[in-house]
């Protein structure tokens, strides 16, 4: 029995190509757009009146970290409520495969729950597990380097040996053969900080042979941001790989942004296939535990407690360069809301240290020590960006927009989870950049949110409204679409989204989320 045809009637179609919008109807059969035009005499059709509404391709989150949260709650409420229908996962070297040592794997998985059992080892096993969950969104996987290293090098902060690199190559090939669209690194994180440029280049050569994309969170985005960008470009030249730089904007601010963009432009002129993406918040978020070197985590929480209490061991830990200490200003690092930190939440590390009359780094370590059971949930905000800095980045023609967050839900198993940007990234971008600042036309913004990412990943039938394309659509009130979430109350569903279709099924209808989850895992080839 075939499904009833769906007719989107009289919408303002913004097709995801950047071309001018137009008024039209869209006819959908099963999971495809079958016709675009005007239809007056159709029988047995489910009609959606879209008068006065924008009809666009479903948005594509080019930088998602929903690898694990989609296993916990596949509804992806934060994404669907913003019109997001596809997520690129496995970014920043974080993800759920390959896994050779389940005890270590959580070190490169965002949002991992200790009560969850990992019952797979490779990309195929993970994707099959995800498919059984019937996610609401389409999922496009990358192979994360953090898990490659945890599966071979372990927690050691050093370059891989010849034998270890050989094993990493084998695992990468396996992941790409099983559907990975590319390879990612998070060279700033403890699981990968020891990786050499040479070993990354060797892995990228494999990625290139599979026509995959290399997505990299560069090694140092503070005082050495420009050097890190140049390293990524050098790696791409030497491996002939397609390069995607994650959140390119240097944390050092505007003084380095133009230099970073010039480096990208020079690489483009020299024939490199390079692009980048940026999130939509004025700050970064990460776990407080990133101040710890990987060796300090060996042996579990009890061993860590002993090290933090030992003066010499603590001194060694403090000498470790990390994302937080590299900022050089503990006033810019603020603890997120946490039920276990009622008196400390929303305070900067510097302010807490001043109250206690201790060194800020010691203060951060003491917080970890005093709340060791919350090691995997303590998160901080890094105040690093300005609106001007972000908008200048977005303007570059090679800049896509992504969440840099996990798909969440305000209720259920993820109800207490927070990840800034989850509920706000696309809705903020449209409200602020289009409607208020008018930096982009609606057509330009939708291209940034859909078509550009689809083109970058060679997702030919996604991110665009055309005959034969997947019926992934966002239908919204362009005068109302915007975020409700705030810095300290981020878990609020966006407003203005009316209907969302994923593969021809309603994920949202008349502003109400539906339980028909029609997302697909999209394997390469």
Question: Residue 245 phi/psi, 5° resolution?
Answer: -90, 125
Counting Cα atoms < 13 Å in the Cβ hemisphere of 407 gives 32
Question: Tens of pLDDT along 127-139?
Answer: 999 999 999 999 9
Largest CA distance in the chain: 81
The correct CATH number of 59-282+384-461 out of 3.30.70.870, 3.40.30.10, 3.20.20.140, 3.30.70.240 is 3.20.20.140
Give Cα 245 to chain centroid, integer Å. Answer: 12
Tokens of 327: 């900022």
> Are the CB atoms for 253 and 282 separated by under 8 Å?
no
Burial of 413 (0-12, 13-18, 19+ CB in 10 A): exposed
pLDDT digits (tens, 9 = 90+) for 461-472: 999 999 999 999
Question: What pLDDT shows up at residue 326?
Answer: 67
Type and span of the H or E element at 103: helix 102-105
Cis peptide before 346 (omega within 30 of 0): no
505 DSSP β-pair partners: 502
Note the pTM of the prediction, 2 decimals.
0.88
Rounded to an integer, what distance in angstroms lies between the CA atom of residue 215 and that of residue 401? Answer: 14
Residue bearing tokens 């992504």? 402
Residue stretches of the chain with pLDDT short of 70: 1-2, 323, 326-328, 339
Q: How far is CA 290 from CA 321, 376, 378, in A?
A: 10, 10, 10
Q: Cβ contacts of residue 127 below 8 Å, gap of 6+? A: 139, 141, 178, 179, 521, 523
Cβ proximity of 461 and 451 under 8 Å: no
Mention every residue, 6+ apart, whose C-beta is less than 8 A from residue 157.
190, 193, 194, 293, 294, 295
- Rounded distance, CA 261 to CA 492, Å? 34
Residue 156 Cα distances to 122, 294, 372, angstroms: 22, 7, 22
145 Rama class: left (phi>0) / alpha (psi -120 to 50) / beta:
alpha
Find out whether 308 and 370 touch, Cβ atoms under 8 Å.
Answer: no
Domain chopping of the chain, boundaries: 59-282+384-461, 290-383
Q: Strand pairing partners for 79?
A: none
Q: How far apart are CA 74 and CA 77, in angstroms?
A: 8
pLDDT at residue 332 in the model: 82
């Amino acid at each position: 029995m075939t499904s009833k045809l769906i007719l989107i009637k009289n919408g303002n179609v913004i097709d995801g190509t950047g071309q001018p919008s137009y008024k039209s109807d869209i006819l959908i059969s099963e999971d495809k757009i079958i016709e675009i035009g005007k239809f007056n005499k159709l029988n047995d059709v489910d009609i959606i009146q879209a008068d006065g509404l924008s009809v666009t391709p479903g948005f594509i989150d080019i930088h998602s970290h929903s690898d694990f949260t989609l296993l916990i709650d596949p509804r992806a409420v934060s994404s669907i409520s913003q019109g997001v229908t596809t997520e690129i996962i496995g970014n920043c070297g974080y993800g759920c495969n390959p896994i050779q040592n389940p005890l270590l794997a959580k070190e490169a998985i965002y949002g991992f729950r200790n009560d969850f059992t990992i019952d797979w080892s490779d990309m195929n096993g993970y994707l099959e597990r995800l498919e059984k969950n019937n996610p609401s969104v389409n999922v496009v996987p990358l192979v994360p380097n953090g898990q490659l290293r945890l599966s071979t090098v372990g927690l050691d902060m050093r370059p891989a040996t010849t034998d270890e690199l050989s094993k990493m190559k084998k695992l990468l090939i396996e992941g790409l053969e099983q559907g990975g669209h590319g390879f990612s690194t998070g060279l700033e994180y403890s699981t990968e900080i020891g990786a050499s440029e040479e070993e990354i280049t060797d892995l990228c050569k494999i990625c290139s042979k599979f026509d995959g994309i290399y997505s990299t969170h560069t090694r140092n985005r503070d005082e050495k941001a420009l050097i890190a960008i140049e390293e990524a470009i050098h790696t791409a030249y030497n491996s002939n790989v397609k390069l995607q730089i994650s959140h390119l904007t240097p944390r050092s601010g505007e003084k380095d942004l133009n230099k970073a963009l010039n480096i990208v432009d020079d690489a483009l002129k020299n024939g490199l296939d390079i692009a980048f993406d940026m999130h939509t918040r004025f700050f970064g978020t990460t776990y407080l535990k990133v101040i710890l070197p990987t060796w300090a985590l060996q042996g579990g929480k009890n061993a860590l407690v002993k090290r933090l209490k030992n003066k010499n061991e603590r001194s060694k830990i403090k000498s470790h360069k990390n994302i937080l200490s590299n900022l050089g200003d503990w006033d810019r690092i603020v603890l997120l809301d946490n039920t276990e930190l009622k008196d400390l939440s929303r305070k900067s590390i510097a302010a807490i240290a001043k109250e206690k009359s201790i060194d800020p780094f010691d203060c951060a370590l003491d917080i970890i020590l005093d709340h060791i059971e919350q090691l995997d949930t303590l998160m901080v905000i890094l105040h690093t960006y300005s609106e001007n800095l972000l908008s200048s980045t977005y303007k570059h023609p090679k800049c896509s927009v992504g969440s840099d967050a996990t798909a969440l839900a305000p209720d259920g198993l993820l109800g207490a989870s927070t990840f800034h940007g989850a509920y706000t990234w696309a809705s903020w971008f449209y409200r602020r950049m289009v409607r208020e600042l008018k930096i982009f036309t609606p057509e330009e913004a939708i291209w940034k949110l859909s078509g550009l990412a689809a083109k970058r990943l060679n997702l030919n039938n996604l991110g665009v409204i055309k005959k034969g394309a997947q019926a992934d659509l966002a239908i919204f009130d362009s005068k109302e679409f915007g975020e409700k979430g705030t810095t300290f109350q981020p878990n609020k569903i966006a407003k203005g989204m009316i209907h969302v279709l994923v593969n021809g099924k309603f994920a949202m209808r008349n502003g109400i989320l539906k339980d028909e989850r029609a997302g697909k895992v999209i394997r390469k080839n």
